[in-house]
Amino acid sequence: MSQALGTFRAVYLVALCCVGSFLFAYDTGIVGGILTFSSFQEDFRYGAGQKATVGSNSTSLLQAGAFFSCFFIWPFTARFGRRLSLVLASTIFCIGAVVQTINTHSLGAFYAARVVSGIGVGMATVVIPMYSAEMAPKNIRGMLGSMFQFFFTLGVMTSYWIDYAVSTHMKPSTAQWQIPVGLQLAPGGILGLGMLLTTESPRWLAKRGRKEDAMKSLVWIRGGASLEVDKEFAEILASIEEEEGVTNGVTWKELILPVNRMRVFLIIALQIGVQLTGNTSLAYYAPQVFAAVGAGQNNLLITGFFGVVKVISCLFFLLFLVERIGRRGSLLGGAFLMGTYMLIIAVLTATHPPTASSGLTSTSIASITMIYLEAMSYNISWGPVPWVYMSEIFPSRIREAGVAIGTSTQWLFNFVFSQVTPHAIQNLGWRTFLMFCIFNYSLVAFTWFFIKETKGKSLEEMEALFGATATAIDFEAVHDKAKHGDIVQVETARDDQRQE
């Protein structure tokens, strides 16, 4: 019973915090649609010639705010915890969303609001993977960590269909663009208010010296007191003590130690790899990409179903695959499949160039099918796994810094590829897909030689996995102490839990 209750609580808590990932995706996806509305152009008083500039600025400013917020939230969450960090992120995001929704008739005000919302979104994308990893049981940490990507795909899909709905069922008016923008406030409020009612990360509490609170939090999230909970708590305390003993109070300088440099390199390379797959570019410019392979006037509807495919494939991955094939296997298989699909698209588009008058031909249908399959492959590999991997490989003392570096890398290269993709499609045509094919096959080699498997290991076991012998703990000795109750304040916390 306690294990089932613990699993339920962990799933509930991680799903709640992953609403921030939904915001990230929805806010990014919704803008591409509303900027095409004549009502938005009239209200903000810009012409058709400025449309591309306004679209580029709206995307870039959100990414800029998100990028710089990664470095602010790193020390903030280290000092004030995960819960308050997410509450603050939600509050800042909602302020930006309110200003975006108001018809100010000013592009400057809209741009400023995009930066503010970007700050909130960026903060959330740093804290969510970290909080999820620290709260999840090791046997389902991969599944719960993959919920970040699952909620992202939900946000993308929702933005596609809401844009499609208001464009087809509403006459041009201010409300036509205000509804999709204003709907951001609902998940934003859910995230902030929900986090006020949850428990703090036991690993953060233990690191701050609040051992009784840490044990209570761990007992709650695991569904009750047990010997396994005692062992896990003992591992947490032992790991923190070993790290502090070896590093002697140093924090950020630990990042440049050889064993940690490799981990920083891996998460930076993984987040760059996410962009090299080409899927993010497809997500941002799906209508243009589908038009490029011959979707014609059906590109918006096809884009909507593109979002549905992503949700289904990611859900399948987190329910059935992530804890079976592991992190390394999914990255290898995903990159190989995506490279193959991109190669097929390049060949089809090069040998049978689409024309505006031809409509949906057999070749264009085949290309669209390959794009759908590429999206499915991405969402069972390079979509969810880098977020899981990034949040679990660092020791507790530098986890905030490591995740902040990885997330800022994601935002930086997200920005780079969002700027490059439309020009690549316009100037390179089918060669764009060949370029992404080469990138994906390169990622297969990178994964084979550098990525270590972390499936089924606790966060405290990562030190031994990555060769950090100085801070690796003796698990047998730690578990023996837990078995005999030789853990500071454990019994007190357990007694308090039973009385409750």
402's tokens? 């490591």
Candidates 80, 195, 199, 72; CA nearest to 123 is 72
Query: Residue 481 carries which side chain, given as an amino acid letter?
Result: K
Average pLDDT, rounded, for the chain: 84
Burial code (b: 16+ CB inside 10 Å, e: under 16) for 221-260 equals bbbebeeebbbbbbbbbbbbebbeeebeeeeeebbebeeb
Q: How confident is the model at residue 30 (pLDDT cuts 50, 70, 90)?
A: confident
- Residues for the chain: how many in total? 500
User: Of 465, 317, 293, which Cα lies nearest the Cα of 382?
Assistant: 317
* Mean pLDDT value of segment 259-272: 92
Tell me which of 52 and 192 has the higher pLDDT: 192
pLDDT for residue 478: 55
pLDDT in tens, 54-67: 877 888 888 889 99
pTM exceeds 0.75 for this model? yes
What are the Cα distances from residue 283, in Å, to 244, 290, 413?
43, 11, 14
pLDDT at 296 over 60: no
181 — pLDDT class (breaks 50, 70, 90): very high
Cβ neighbour number for residue 414 with a 10 Å cutoff = 23
| pLDDT score at 490 | 46
Return the minimum-mean-pLDDT range out of 39-43, 174-178, 291-295, 434-438.
291-295
Confidence tier at 284 by pLDDT (50, 70, 90): low
Q: How far apart, in whole angstroms, are the C-alpha atoms of residue 383 and residue 240?
A: 31
* Average pLDDT rounded to a whole number, residues 154-168: 87
User: Residue 54: its pLDDT value, please?
Assistant: 83
Task: Give percent above pLDDT 90 in the chain.
Answer: 40
pLDDT at 366: 83
Pairwise pLDDT comparison (36 vs 329), residue with the higher score: 329
Q: What is the pLDDT of residue 489?
A: 46
pLDDT at residue 356, rounded to an integer: 58
- At residue 439 the predicted structure's pLDDT band, cuts being 50, 70 and 90, is very high
* Structure confidence at residue 483 (pLDDT): 60
pLDDT reported for residue 192: 93
The band of 300, judged by pLDDT with boundaries at 50, 70 and 90, is low
Mean pLDDT of 321-349: 91
What is the structure's pLDDT at 297? 56
